[in-house]
A and B are shown apart, each in its own frame.
Chain A
Amino acid sequence: MKDHVERPGDAGTPLLSMRGISVAYGALRANDGIDLDVGAGEVQALLGENGAGKTTLMKALVGLAPIEGGSIEFDGKDISDISPLVARNAGIGMVHQHFMLIPTLTVAQNLCIGLRSEGYPFPNYRKITAKISGLSERYALKVDPSARVADLSVGEQQRVEIIKALYRGARLLVLDEPTSVLIPQEIEGLFEIIRNLSAQGTAVIFISHKLNEVMSISRNITILRRGKVAATRRTSETSAKELARLMVGYEMGDLPAAPAISESSPPVARIEGLRFVDSRKVKKLNGVDIEVRAGEIHGIAGVDGNGQVELARILAGILAASSGTIWLDGKDITRLDVARRIRSGLSYIPGDRQRTGLVMDLSVRDNMTLKLSDRPPYAVHGFLDFGKIRAMVEESIRDYNIDCADSGQEARTLSGGNQQKLVLSRELRSDPRLIVAVQPTQGLDISATNYVHSMLLERQRKGCAILLISTELDEVLSLSNRISVMYEGRLMGTFDRDSADRETIGLLMAGKQHA
């Protein structure tokens, strides 16, 4: 181990030291000789584009990835033959991006799964609850031990995951993109928790695509690029601009702004008086009216859970509105099913790409074929023409630069950015009239985000109408021609881009009509 990397401004042996970690999936080297050091109580950020190998490295650390070579030292002990059990006993805990909780059980029950020490076969819930309360207090992590996980919000579930790791004695906590599922208020809360943990000696590895988050919370930053360490920086000695350059390997230009729409451009989509009451009799939409013109990106800003998802699903034809009318190109499509809406020129980029956007167990090729199985020339006389399909798939992979070994690779194994490119390539190839895009850049790195934005802008220039639903205000503000704010199932107001100011919109998002 002669090539011990000089870590910026640090003395003594680190808590964790990974050396030359390599992980290969088939021919792909997801990690290629990565070194990483984390000191006790430090917040270490991991940055990198989609597919750079961040998750893989962390899975290697907790014994969930097939390590080929390299060594791991934790607290002075060699734990190179890592397994989930070894990692747990050593004190390494990971909160995965997709939570690993059992929804039908309570928090306390979830916490003691697999822990014989808490009473076997009958866990001692009084003791467990007391221990949870202790941890809650110590780190200001609010959790109700007797609540059912299914009844908790995403932010609360995340806290349960963190407590679960701490409960098992974690002294190093890995958080894989913890903020991508949180709303802004919850993000502040999470940062508070991270600061508490760090102050009391727990090290944290923090993964995020958002440079401002990384800049505000971390002490050191390691940037991965294509499975290798591109650079390691002390946070206080770098800038967001430098980080962006290190991540992608080149300077990134700014996006061209969306061209203005003229007053005369015709409306493509009109939504009138849309109401929706869900099965539990909750009013999700209370009379929504929107008009999207040709060549317009109409942004819908709002905090998650104010009816945006329902609006999108109703437009796509997956959910039936309780009342109201949807017009597309002057045609009433309210009663049309999904297939007919697609044929009328509607494209839907769903927010949950792993569930609604893609069939994760099927190949890239099959996922690109999803909407074409009744469309000549790809399907003739009920049979798929694989020659045509292959040509189309290869073209899409090239055009959209999708990083996959071949078109037979399962969608599940693509990185987040490439999964989204796959969805885009499918949804944009048919020259849609109206695109309903929900959180199109969630979990995507900077360059993939830029790419998605540029694809949407290109469509907009071609005269497509785009309804952009996003909880990220920056995204809505920078892309949209007009912006509507949604709160509790109704629109609080609609602004032209020039007249929209952040403050007013922020207040409307919180439901305050007049400040």
Chain B
Amino acid sequence: MREAGAKPARPLGAERKLKISKGLRADFLSSFIAFALALVIGAAIIAAMGKDPLKAYAALLDGAVGNRNSLAETFLRAIPLSLAGIGVAIAFRAGAFNVGAEGQLFIGAMASAWVGLSFPSLPPILLLPLMGLTAMVAGGLWAGIAGALKAWMNASEMINTIMLNYIAVFLVSFLVHGPLQDPSSPLGQTARLPRAAYLPIMLPGTRLHGGLVLAVAAALLASLFLWRSAWGFRIRVVGKNTFAAQASGMRVNGVMVSALVVSGMLAGLAGFCEAAGVQHRMIENISPGYGYTAIVVALLGQTNPIGVFAAAVLFAALQIGASTMESAVGVPSSVITVIQYLVVLLLIGRGAFDLIRGKVMALSRREKG
């Protein structure tokens, strides 16, 4: 109604872009602040142990990116974290909490190893995509179970994905100790994969493999998917308001299940990368909790695929640098775990920051006035 009719035809696009980038900035700023604060608290803990926090962090940095090999290790670690993290982020966008990336990763890794072992004579160009696809299908199905239970029986996906994690881990453990065990070893692992099933090395002399390409592609494609595709649009609408989504003709359950399935597919792909890129077989302990760290990574990346990738690299650097810190300065690497989870607490406590900011603004107003 305001200045009705007199409104000049303005280029809506330009303003919109500005606004979006402003909202994004605010989001990432809060991530940055949470991370920085976690580092500060971590420094205090280190100081309390009688060690020099600056020295510890310097060792951490050196261990994470100090040389070619540590850099490669950092990115190597970022691959499963970002793939699973992007998956968790997509589920979040649909309003579903996928705590089951860990189990989906296990199932994906197991399935791809099984394919690799079953078709040893296929050339890499066929075998690797086949393994990757199988991993995605398996991970997606595994997540789909939780999705179906939520959609049709109204069972919380949070509980179900956690339960399915246990089932997945024990199922894999049974398989690698039983029917699929490497006959020449007493360990819980399968036989070594054929060479054709190895993901190619990207940086000669290091362990960094082609999974990095998959992770970067996943971040870009997931962004495209969420903000350009009709399906991604529906996911975002359902995640914000199921009532409005339903009233406008969207199949809320279908959309929610599909997001969980996509989420599981990405976690499955992460499992494929670990099996075919790092271990070159399926082992009982294929993941030290990547699927759980992925949740933190998704939150820190503000459920934005590109942001999640960045957060994954950051967390990978922390984890890789931690052992150097431990050996060089004598600070236990568990401090890094503390920092990681502080990030979550601080992000969740963002409301408190807003309160404080309001207070500060009120104070500055008083000074001005």
Among A316, A357, A358, A383, residue most surrounded by chain B Cβ atoms (within 10 Å): A383
- Could you tell me which residues of chain A, from 172 to 193, have a CB within 8 Å of some CB in chain B? none
Across the interface, A338 reaches (CB within 8 A) one of B20, B241, B249, namely B249
B244 with A358: CB separation less than 8 A: yes
Would you give the 0/1 interface string for B243-286, flagging 1 where the beta carbon is closer than 8 Å to chain A?
Answer: 11111111100000000000000000000000000000000000
A357 with B230: CB separation less than 8 A: no
* Cβ of A106 under 8 Å from chain B: no
Docked Cα-Cα span, A81 to B365, in Å, equals: 7
Task: For B362, list chain A residues within 8 Å (CB).
Answer: 81, 83
| Given A66-B361, A366-B237: A403 in contact with B1 (beta carbons within 8 A) | yes
* Cβ of A151 under 8 Å from chain B: no
Task: For B19, list chain A residues within 8 Å (CB).
Answer: 406, 408-409
Least Cβ–Cβ distance between B357 and chain A, in angstroms: 11
* Cβ of A80 under 8 Å from chain B: yes
A447 (CB) vs chain B CBs: closest residue: B1
* Cβ of B32 under 8 Å from chain A: no
Segment at the interface with B among A54-62, A195-203, A281-289, A367-375? A367-375
A355 with B365: CB separation less than 8 A: no
A357 with B247: CB separation less than 8 A: yes
Among B16, B230, B241, residue most surrounded by chain A Cβ atoms (within 10 Å): B230
Would you give the 0/1 interface string for A435-452, flagging 1 where the beta carbon is closer than 8 Å to chain B?
Answer: 000000000000110000
A383 with B366: CB separation less than 8 A: no
The secondary-structure label for the interface of chain B is: helix
Task: For A382, list chain B residues within 8 Å (CB).
Answer: 229-231
Would you give the 0/1 interface string for B13-54, flagging 1 where the beta carbon is closer than 8 Å to chain A?
Answer: 101100110000000000000000000000000000000000
A407 (CB) vs chain B CBs: closest residue: B12
A383 with B230: CB separation less than 8 A: yes
Docked Cα-Cα span, A342 to B1, in Å, equals: 30
* Cβ of A231 under 8 Å from chain B: no
Least Cβ–Cβ distance between A369 and chain B, in angstroms: 7
* Cβ of A360 under 8 Å from chain B: yes
- Could you tell me which residues of chain B, from 329 to 369, have a CB within 8 Å of some CB in chain A? 358-359, 361-362, 365-366, 369
Would you give the 0/1 interface string for A386-404, flagging 1 where the beta carbon is closer than 8 Å to chain B?
Answer: 1000100110001001010
Least Cβ–Cβ distance between B292 and chain A, in angstroms: 28
A356 with B365: CB separation less than 8 A: no
B247 with A356: CB separation less than 8 A: yes
Across the interface, A370 reaches (CB within 8 A) one of B244, B251, B358, namely B244
| Given A339-B251, A362-B236: A318 in contact with B246 (beta carbons within 8 A) | yes
Docked Cα-Cα span, A356 to B241, in Å, equals: 8
Task: For A409, list chain B residues within 8 Å (CB).
Answer: 19
A67 with B241: CB separation less than 8 A: no
* Cβ of B233 under 8 Å from chain A: yes
Task: For B248, list chain A residues within 8 Å (CB).
Answer: 338, 342, 370-371
| Given A81-B366, A405-B15, A408-B20: A379 in contact with B237 (beta carbons within 8 A) | no
Task: For B250, list chain A residues within 8 Å (CB).
Answer: 339, 370, 373
A378 (CB) vs chain B CBs: closest residue: B230
B5 (CB) vs chain A CBs: closest residue: A401
B249 with A371: CB separation less than 8 A: yes
Task: For B209, list chain A residues within 8 Å (CB).
Answer: none
* Cβ of A384 under 8 Å from chain B: yes
* Cβ of B240 under 8 Å from chain A: yes
A403 with B2: CB separation less than 8 A: yes
Task: For A50, list chain B residues within 8 Å (CB).
Answer: 1
Docked Cα-Cα span, A447 to B5, in Å, equals: 16
Task: For A81, list chain B residues within 8 Å (CB).
Answer: 362, 365-366, 369
A380 (CB) vs chain B CBs: closest residue: B230
B233 with A318: CB separation less than 8 A: no
A338 with B13: CB separation less than 8 A: no
A384 with B369: CB separation less than 8 A: no
Task: For B7, list chain A residues within 8 Å (CB).
Answer: 398
Least Cβ–Cβ distance between A467 and chain B, in angstroms: 16
A359 with B244: CB separation less than 8 A: yes
A361 (CB) vs chain B CBs: closest residue: B240
Size category, B interface = 35 or more
Least Cβ–Cβ distance between A248 and chain B, in angstroms: 8
B247 with A348: CB separation less than 8 A: yes
Docked Cα-Cα span, A405 to B246, in Å, equals: 28
B244 with A366: CB separation less than 8 A: no
* Cβ of A49 under 8 Å from chain B: yes
Task: For A363, list chain B residues within 8 Å (CB).
Answer: 16
Across the interface, B243 reaches (CB within 8 A) one of A356, A371, A403, namely A356
* Cβ of A350 under 8 Å from chain B: yes
Count A-B pairs with CB separation below 8 Å.
112
* Cβ of A233 under 8 Å from chain B: no
- Could you tell me which residues of chain A, from 215 to 261, have a CB within 8 Å of some CB in chain B? 226
- Could you tell me which residues of chain B, from 172 to 202, have a CB within 8 Å of some CB in chain A? none
Docked Cα-Cα span, A318 to B231, in Å, equals: 21
* Cβ of B77 under 8 Å from chain A: no
A80 with B12: CB separation less than 8 A: no
B241 with A361: CB separation less than 8 A: yes
Least Cβ–Cβ distance between A276 and chain B, in angstroms: 17
Docked Cα-Cα span, A120 to B321, in Å, equals: 47
B241 with A373: CB separation less than 8 A: no
B1 (CB) vs chain A CBs: closest residue: A403
Task: For B233, list chain A residues within 8 Å (CB).
Answer: 366, 369, 373, 384
Least Cβ–Cβ distance between B81 and chain A, in angstroms: 28
Least Cβ–Cβ distance between B230 and chain A, in angstroms: 4
| Given A366-B233, A374-B230, A384-B233: A408 in contact with B15 (beta carbons within 8 A) | yes
A390 with B13: CB separation less than 8 A: yes
* Cβ of A51 under 8 Å from chain B: yes
Task: For B236, list chain A residues within 8 Å (CB).
Answer: 362, 366
* Cβ of B228 under 8 Å from chain A: yes
Task: For A407, list chain B residues within 8 Å (CB).
Answer: 12, 16
B237 with A362: CB separation less than 8 A: yes
Task: For A403, list chain B residues within 8 Å (CB).
Answer: 1-2
A355 with B241: CB separation less than 8 A: yes
Docked Cα-Cα span, A406 to B240, in Å, equals: 21
Task: For B5, list chain A residues within 8 Å (CB).
Answer: 401
Docked Cα-Cα span, A394 to B237, in Å, equals: 21
Task: For A355, list chain B residues within 8 Å (CB).
Answer: 241, 243-244
| Given A361-B241, A382-B229: A408 in contact with B4 (beta carbons within 8 A) | no
| Given A359-B240, A405-B15, A408-B16: A49 in contact with B229 (beta carbons within 8 A) | no
| Given A407-B16, A408-B15: A401 in contact with B4 (beta carbons within 8 A) | yes
B15 with A373: CB separation less than 8 A: no
Least Cβ–Cβ distance between B76 and chain A, in angstroms: 34
Docked Cα-Cα span, A66 to B358, in Å, equals: 9
Task: For B12, list chain A residues within 8 Å (CB).
Answer: 390, 393-394, 406-408
Task: For A226, list chain B residues within 8 Å (CB).
Answer: 2
Task: For B2, list chain A residues within 8 Å (CB).
Answer: 51, 226, 403
Docked Cα-Cα span, A127 to B15, in Å, equals: 56
B241 with A360: CB separation less than 8 A: yes
Task: For A337, list chain B residues within 8 Å (CB).
Answer: 249, 251
B369 with A316: CB separation less than 8 A: no
Docked Cα-Cα span, A403 to B240, in Å, equals: 23
Task: For B359, list chain A residues within 8 Å (CB).
Answer: 83
- Could you tell me which residues of chain A, from 391 to 435, have a CB within 8 Å of some CB in chain B? 393-394, 398, 401, 403, 405-409, 417
Task: For A401, list chain B residues within 8 Å (CB).
Answer: 1, 4-5
Docked Cα-Cα span, A356 to B244, in Å, equals: 4
B249 with A383: CB separation less than 8 A: no
A316 with B247: CB separation less than 8 A: yes
Task: For B10, list chain A residues within 8 Å (CB).
Answer: 406
CB pairs A–B below 8 angstroms (5 shown): A338-B249, A382-B229, A406-B12, A406-B16, A407-B12
What 10 additional pairs, Cβ within 8 angstroms, besides A366-B236, A406-B15, A407-B16?
A350-B247, A356-B243, A370-B245, A382-B231, A390-B13, A398-B7, A401-B4, A406-B12, A408-B16, A447-B1
| 4 nearest CB pairs, A to B | A339-B249, A408-B16, A370-B248, A373-B230
